[in-house]
Chains A and B, each alone.
Chain A
Amino acid sequence: KNQVEQSPQSLIILEGKNCTLQCNYTVSPFSNLRWYKQDTGRGPVSLTIMTFSENTKSNGRYTATLDADTKQSSLHITASQLSDSASYICVVSDRGSTLGRLYFGRGTQLTVWP
């Protein structure tokens, strides 16, 4: 069964600290993995996409990694800001059909305190 598991479920950190969010998946055949940020009361917004051949990709203070062998991805946030408080959702796409299918994790709820 194709699944996406995220950890931790929730996380509280102090402003300025770093943190790492985890995503494990069993989706096969794998196409790509995206991290989305969802602010409270808003729709998710894509942060970064990782394809099979990519190991690391950065977007400002956000750095995503992918280990396709172990089927794990992480999202590292550097020097956290209050505006980083949000839910971070891992979404994996398969390539089992021409249309593609998306598998969503439940998200990690990050709270940054001043």
Chain B
Amino acid sequence: EADIYQTPRYLVIGTGKKITLECSQTMGHDKMYWYQQDPGMELHLIHYSYGVNSTEKGDLSSESTVSRIRTEHFPLTLESARPSHTSQYLCASSHSGAVNTGELFFGEGSRLTVL
């Protein structure tokens, strides 16, 4: 099993609250990603990082922000949550040597519900 962990697994909050979704991996992977997944839809890349102090926005516009201060840690923050942010958020990582092989190791996901 992959050693990548997400917390919380489930979160229900009110509109306007600030939330941080945590993601940590113990595999020493340089590359980390955040995907958003809605039922019946494909995964959409919202943020990625290729190393410490490197973060980029993905294909899907997101009001969230990320940081990469340590290799193993890639948290995602929403400053003011809205109902439109309700979704499943998946964190993933891959190692740099596997250029273009496409293997991602996913966490269990964080299901966010904003009321």
Residues of A within 8 A of B (CB): 4, 9, 31-32, 34, 41-46, 49, 89, 91-95, 98-100, 102, 104-107, 109
Residues of chain B within 8 A (CB-CB) of A102 are: 45, 102, 104
Inter-subunit contact A32/B102 (CB<8 Å) = yes
For residue B92, which residues in chain A have a CB less than 8 angstroms away from its CB? 43
Given A45-B106, A92-B102: 12 more A-B contacts, CB < 8 Å: A31-B101, A34-B103, A42-B108, A42-B109, A44-B106, A46-B104, A49-B102, A89-B43, A93-B100, A95-B100, A98-B99, A102-B102
Point out residues on B near A: beta carbons under 8 Å.
2, 4, 40-45, 50, 90, 92, 99-104, 106-109, 111
A100 engages B100 (CB within 8 Å): yes
Residues of B within 8 A of A9 (CB): 40
